[in-house]
Amino acid sequence: MTDAASSALLPPELLGAALDALPEGIAIFDVDWTIVYVNPVGAGLLARGRDQLVDRNIWIALPELGGSIFHSFLLHARSIGEQLTWQGYYAPTGRFLSATAVRIGDRLQVSFREVPAPLEEHPLATHRGERPVEGPGGVDLERLRFLAEIRESMIGTLDTGESVARLVDLLVPRLCDWTIVTVIGEDGRPSEVGRGHRDPGRLADLDTYLTGRVRGTGDDSPLAAALFSGEPVQMDVIDPSLVEASLATEEVREAWRRLDAGSFTMVPLRARGETFGAIGLINTSQRPPHSEMEIATAMEVARRASLPLDNARLYEQQSKVAETLQRSLLTPPPQPDHLEIAVRYQPAASNMHVGGDWYDAFQQPDGATLLVIGDVIGHNVEAAAAMGQVRSILRGIAYDRQEGPASILTRVDEVLTGLRIGTLATALIARLEQPTERAQDGLRTLRWSSAGHLPPLVLHPDGRVAVLDTRPEILLGAESRNRRTDHEARLRPGDTLLFYTDGLVEHGRSLIDEGIARLVRVTAEAAHLTVDELCDQLLERIVRHRSDDDIAIVVVRCHPHDASGPSSHDQPVDAKD
């Protein structure tokens, strides 16, 4: 029934009352997808109040509709001239719906109701089997493809910078001439995390404007409005007075003029009930202001991009917490007489987890130097926290008594088991001793015990490298009754000890044996370097400062008592169990 025929039969107020009283939902959309009418039942089925729907664009009032099967059904119904019926699941409200739509003139009239049981979905079926590939639905289908591309592009990374870069590439020039993506930082202040321009030659001007403008002078008010309200903010013409006070120098003013900002739309980024940023879409004077449909599309883009961006943002915050916690527990090593100690800790590369790697070095009351390297099983904040527990327990036990490394590990096992800490970790403890009778010759005894950790290396001044490999023993916290074993080796002046975690040798797809062999080669070629230079060389040449796992390194060089540098010798290290 047409609007004219309906009004001829009933006065408008009676017609409205009749529609309001119907037991199924009724909604009418005009040519621009503005909701002209919706009855109470229809508003309830869409989980909105009538005042939140009427006279609003459907894509703004119901952003969650975008990309759903119901969305496709409405687009298809508008593109054909016949009545269309669909039955299926509407995920935003968790309901199964049965809907019928027909286009009358330039309006789309839809009736829909909830059905009690799941039905097979027929999103685009008609009795003629038509598909909206051509004609009026083409623009809508292109919009769907664009939104699908946003979703697919954004879910593939947990790196905020990469996520924003992908978003910018999709927005420019599809929705605007240039864009700025702003995210609220941990300090509560907005910061630009992404920008793009359809003309690469104007990126320098955009950078000049963003870095040189004076903040807090009024040009941030649209951003503040979008963040506060959670609604889009549009300005068809940019008032020069809005930005004039922020252009402090002639250089910034010239850059702004060349950017030729004619109009803009600010759409909020919102996830988990929080508005955490906004996308600024700016058109030059050569491009008209955003239409209502473009704003609706921008809102849907922001909705789809918000969760992946927020995931990346929260992931980086969590990783930063874990790394900060980890670094706070990794204290600088001591520098005992005639020993030179260097350490490194490198967190995992972007998009990976900070793990539980740690090192330690301290002197015991009897003057011996204790060295520790370890790796808690697991990743992220939990692993870093568990690492802190294990490290503190081991440090306290090792300092309490002057005993061998195997005994220390055994007592740590007892504490982890008795307190039910439930943490597994590899660890290697080494004790460097120098009895008085050996001090004149610069000889030292290395005693170590390993709880499933990688073997230490000894680099001689002539470039030969010895791998102190021993029979594997069980990890810390595994509740084993097997006796742990001490091993001994004699070190001479100029020898360099190297302890490391698996991130250094299992880089990429390398097997452990291959990784250790590569580590031996690189270490041998770096025999002439200082201990700090050796640490840096290992990271640079083996992992190039990017690893799938975090890395801890401890390097110790033995110097003679009467010289400032290492001395040479002809005999390899003497090792024994």
Q: How confident is the model at residue 267 (pLDDT cuts 50, 70, 90)?
A: very high
Phi-psi region of 33 (alpha: psi -120 to 50; beta: other; left: phi over 0): left
Backbone angles phi, psi at 458, to 5 degrees: -120, 120
Asked if residue 375 lies in contact with residue 501, where contact means CB atoms within 8 angstroms, the answer is yes
Query: Residue 69: its pLDDT value, please?
Result: 73
Single pTM value for the model: 0.53
pLDDT at 181 over 50: yes
Model pLDDT for residues 483-526, shown as the tens digit of each residue: 999 999 999 999 999 999 998 998 766 688 999 999 999 999 99
Q: Among 265, 246, 271, 267, which Cα is nearest to 256's?
A: 246
Q: Which range is least confidently modeled, 51-65, 149-163, 429-443? A: 149-163
Interacting residues of 216 by C-beta distance below 8 A, sequence separation 6+: none
Over residues 342-388, the pLDDT tens digits come to 999 887 764 445 568 889 999 988 889 999 999 998 766 677 778 88
Q: What is the pLDDT of residue 492?
A: 93
> Whose CA is closest to 159, among 319, 329, 287, 335?
319
pLDDT average, residue stretch 416-436:
89
SS (H, E, C) 288-346: CCCCHHHHHHHHHHHHHHHHHHHHHHHHHHHHHHHHHHHHHHCCCCCCCCCEEEEEEEE
Q: Where do the CATH 3.30.450.20 domains begin and end in the chain?
A: 3-132
Q: Which residue blocks in 528-571 are alpha helix, DSSP H?
A: 531-538
Q: From the CB of residue 35, how many other CB atoms can be counted at a distance below 10 Å?
A: 24
- Domain 3-132, CATH 1.20.200.10 — does that match? no
Confidence check: pLDDT of 8 > 60: no
Residue 231, pLDDT > 80, answer yes
pLDDT confidence tier of residue 329, bands split at 50, 70 and 90: low
Mean pLDDT over 192-213 rounds to 92
Question: What pLDDT does 441 receive?
Answer: 77
pLDDT of residue 67: 62
CATH 3.60.40.10 maps onto the chain at 330-576
* CA 10 vs CA 13, 20, 175, 548, 564: distances in Å: 8, 14, 45, 72, 106
Structure tokens at 263: 């109009």
Q: pLDDT confidence of 199, banded at 50, 70, 90? A: very high
**How far apart (Å, rounded) are the C-alpha atoms in residues 368 and 113?**
80
8 A C-beta contact, residue 430 and residue 339: no
User: Whose CA is closest to 343, among 331, 353, 326, 356?
Assistant: 331
Q: How many residues does the chain have?
A: 577
What pLDDT score does 326 carry?
Answer: 57
Confidence of residue 116 (pLDDT cuts 50, 70, 90): confident
CB 123 within 8 A of CB 88: yes
SS (H, E, C) 146-197: HHHHHHHHHCCCCCHHHHHHHHHHHHCCCCCCEEEEEEECCCCCEEEEEEEE
Tokens of 533: 């230079």
- Taking residues 463-492, what's their average pLDDT? 92
Mean pLDDT over all residues of the chain? 83
Q: What is the pLDDT of residue 230?
A: 80
Q: Which of 6-15, 302-311, 501-510 has the lowest mean pLDDT?
A: 6-15
Amino acid 300: pLDDT: 84
> Which CATH architecture group holds 148-313?
2-Layer Sandwich (3.30)
- Report the CATH superfamily, name and number, of domain 330-576: PPM-type phosphatase domain (3.60.40.10)
Which is higher by pLDDT, 85 or 354? Answer: 85
Q: Is residue 481 over pLDDT 90? A: no
Average pLDDT over residues 419-431: 91
| pLDDT of res. 124 | 39
Start-end of CATH 3.30.450.40 domains in the chain: 148-313
| Rounded average pLDDT over 125-139 | 39
Whether a cis peptide bond, with omega within 30° of 0, leads into 173 is yes
